[in-house]
Amino acid sequence: MALIIHRCTCGHTPTRHPADGACRDSLRACRCTTYKPVEQPELLPTWTMFGVPIPEITPPGERSDHRATCACAACQALYAELAGGTS
Ligand SMILES: [Zn+2]
Ligand SMILES: [Zn+2]
Ligand SMILES: [Zn+2]
């Protein structure tokens, strides 16, 4: 399931920021120590193990991959926009 997330101000996704807060982007040796979400949420695409994109989006507030998604107004709005189709 694709997730709507707020990137941290360091540019990394919240999945890089576990419960203790410190960013764990090993590739770029990020020095960010606290998850500071930017205001604007974005869609984080997910793929199956075969590299196929997963079009379904996890509704805001629901859990996916052992992590609760954000349910703020901005996320709700983005979800409505993305899941609402082209009508
Ligand atoms: Zn980072
Ligand atoms: Zn960060
Ligand atoms: Zn949110």
Going from the C-alpha of 17 to that of each of 8, 24, 27, the distances in angstroms are 8, 6, 14
The CA 82 to ligand 3 mean position distance, Å, reads 14
- The DSSP element (H or E) to which 68 belongs, if any, is strand 67-68
Provide the domain limits for residue 56.
3-84
- What is the 85 CA–ligand 2 centroid distance (Å)? 32
User: Looking at the chain, how many residues does it have?
Assistant: 87
Question: Whole-prediction pTM value?
Answer: 0.81
Q: Ion ligand 3 — residues with CB under 5 Å?
A: 41, 70, 72, 75
Tally of structural domains, the chain: 1
* Distance from residue 36's CA to the centre of ligand 1 (Å): 10
Lowest mean pLDDT among 10-19, 23-32, 43-52, 67-76: 23-32
Which is nearest to 62 in space by CA: 4, 14, 18, 6?
A: 4
Amino acid at residue number 83: A
Summarised one tens digit per residue, pLDDT across range 56-72 is 999 999 987 667 789 99
| Protein residues near ligand 2, an ion, with CB under 5 A | 8, 10, 23, 32
